[in-house]
Structure 1
Amino acid sequence: MKILFIEDDPMNRRVVKDMLDVAGAEMVEAADAPAGLAAIEQQDFDVVLVDLRMPGMDGMEALRRIRARDDAKAQLPLIVVTADTAVDLRQRCLEAGADEVMFKPVAMDSLFDTIGRVLATRGGDIIL
């Protein structure tokens, strides 16, 4: 399984990478939304994890741009990973194109469960 994590904080990327390594998943890192969008253009991913609060382009805009693509990549499974706890946040993320929302700090069992649930909902193979 190949997962893209769009996240500006290197420590958060490292923690999630260590978790995914345990499951044998490959994680590609993007330090900001433009780099993440470029990675999606150049590579194929099974799942994309997206932080919301990043300098420049935020995660909501990245979600909208991915969903606005005119190819199969517009249907990538997208999971928001955020520390934001605004009351209407989950709904706003879903409206922007997210399949699910996870809250930081990320726990390994929650990460695997969420990825598995999103892939199962979409009819994909669950490899974690």
Structure 2
Amino acid sequence: MNVLFIEDDRMNRRVVKDMLDVAGATMEEAENAEEGLKALDSHNYDMLLVDLRMPGMDGITAIQHIRARGDAKAAVPIIVITADTAVDLRERCLAAGADEVLFKPVAMDALFDAMGRILARDDDGVIIG
């Protein structure tokens, strides 16, 4: 599995990379949303992990850009990983097109559970099996 993590904090990227290494996944990094969108233009990813609070474009806006693409990459699964605890945050992320929302500090089992739920869905969002 090839994952792109769009996150401005180097330590957060390192922690998640170590988690994904355990699962045998590869992770590429983008320090901000603009870099992440450029990486998505030139590479194929099985999943995106996106922080919300970054300099420049925020994560919700980045998700909206991804979902508005006119190609197959618009459907790439997206998990938000955030420290933001606003009351309506989960709903705003899902409305923007995120598939899952996790809160920092994210535990490895929570990340893997979220990834598994997404991967177990069919094209209509129904869990298979």
TM-score normalized by the length of structure 2: 0.93
Percent identical residues:
69
Question: Within 2, Cα distance between the matches of 1:79 and 1:122?
Answer: 17
Task: Note the C-alpha offset of 1:67.
Answer: 0.2
SS in 2 for 1:118: helix
Task: Note the C-alpha offset of 1:122.
Answer: 3.9
Deviations 1:12-57 (A, max 9, x none): 0000000000111000000000000011001000000000000100
Task: Note the C-alpha offset of 1:121.
Answer: 2.1
Task: Note the C-alpha offset of 1:119.
Answer: 1.4
Deviations 1:94-118 (A, max 9, x none): 1111011000001111111111111
1:94 equivalenced with 2:91 (yes/no): no
Please give the residue correspondences for 1:82-121 in structure 2 after superposition, counting only pairs within 5 Å: 82-121=82-121
Residue ranges of structure 1 left out of the alignment (5+ in a row): 124-128
Partner of 1:34: 34
Partner of 2:18: 18
Residue ranges of structure 2 left out of the alignment (5+ in a row): 124-129
SS in 2 for 1:3: strand
| Shift >3 Å, 4+ stretches | none
TM-score normalized by the length of structure 1: 0.94
Q: How many residues align?
A: 124
Deviations 1:67-107 (A, max 9, x none): 00000000000110000111110000011110110000011
Partner letter of residue 70 of structure 1? G
